[in-house]
A and B are shown apart, each in its own frame.
Chain A
Amino acid sequence: MFIFEKRTQIPVCIKNRNPHLASIILSQYGGPNGELSASLQYLSQRFTMPDNKGKALLTDIGTEELAHLEIIGSIVGQLTDGEGARSFDKYGNGSYYVDHGSAVFPVNAAGQTWNAAYIQAMGDPIADLVNNMAAEQKARATYDNILRLSDDPDVNEVIKFLREREVVHFQRFGDTILTKLSRLNAKNAHVFQKQARIL
């Protein structure tokens, strides 16, 4: 289960209002490589991860991604706080405003709604973990792109933290894969035995 704590993982304090930048950041809320995708991918995969160590890692990283989803939502919410229809329209986001007002809605930067096809869960530990390493790098690259597009120092400070966390998660998934691969030749290669039982 999950317990909510009434704070973000790190402080989010954005002074400027900028609906255009908000629409770019929003891709990490409801886009293909965003925090919603990451959290649902890991938290879904853990149901079929054969070992408890793997389940713990997927749960812990998936939970941190939920905290990051909240941070992204907070950035977007602050960037658009108090901004009305004219401001959205001036920044080129009138088409978003007409359907969602100033709400934080899970779409990518081009306005397409979040889609489960963004995520992967194969029920195969190696396939899933390799997918997760790719997911972390894609998220890291997206944050790099955001940093290239954004010149708001308050936003960038938070984005740099989130980018760094993707690198840490990548390393953790990598360590887990190395451990699993090192056991593939052992008689208790549980990863494949588990698959064989399912088949």
Chain B
Amino acid sequence: MANNMNRRPSGNFGNMHNNMHTMPNTTRNSNNNGSNGNNDASCEELLHAIMEADFFAQDLKLYLDTHPDDTRAVEMFREAVKQTAACRAAFEDSFYPLTAASAGMNGTWDWPEGVWPPFN
């Protein structure tokens, strides 16, 4: 999994198992404010990458609830959670907070920003 860590997400939700190993090369502290450099992942692409990775984690979580002795699935779950967190951090760095815990980081109340139901 680790050797794919620097590829951009494809944003193709239908391919989640192939794409779940990809992630943007930004991190929470990488000072990326949408002025891109080598990361030009769009808002939509990053959102899809979060959805893919988090869905994989969700499905593994339900599986592990009934198959707790499957250590390989535990590893895959940890990797999917890490992947989700990295994608979410990259998204929030460039766009808007997805959880209230990430709001207000620039000193202003930006929690209402972004897309809310029914349009997200």
Contacts and interface: CB of A to CB of B under 8 A. Distances in A.
B68 interface: yes
B118 interface: yes
B13 A11 contact: yes
Interface stretch (A1-9, A93-101, A145-153, A186-194): A1-9
A77 B51 contact: no
Interface in A83-105: 104
- The B interface is mostly helix, strand or loop, or mixed, namely helix
B83 to A, nearest CB: 15
Contacts of A5: 98-99
A139 interface: no
Most-contacted residue by chain B among A6, A78, A169 (CB, 10 A): A6
Range for the number of chain B residues in contact with chain A: 20 to 34
Contacts of B54: 9
Contact of B117 (A11, A60, A70, A176): A70
Interface string B49-61: 0110011001101
A4 B118 contact: no
B65 A56 contact: yes
Contacts of B120: 6-8, 12, 74
Contacts of B117: 8, 70, 73-74, 77
Contacts of A6: 96-99, 114-116, 120
A141 interface: no
Range for the number of chain A residues in contact with chain B: 20 to 34
Nearest to A3: B99
B66 A4 contact: no
Nearest to B62: A172
Contact of A168 (B62, B98, B99): B62
Contacts of B89: none
Given A73-B118, A78-B118, A7 B98 contact: yes
Given A6-B116, A73-B118, A74-B118, A57 B65 contact: yes
Nearest to B16: A10
Contacts of A179: 66
A61 interface: yes
B12 to A, nearest CB: 11
Contact of B119 (A57, A60, A64, A74): A74
Interface of B: 13, 47-48, 50-51, 54-55, 58-59, 61-63, 65-68, 96-101, 114-120
7 contacts: A3-B99, A4-B100, A7-B47, A61-B62, A70-B117, A73-B117, A168-B62
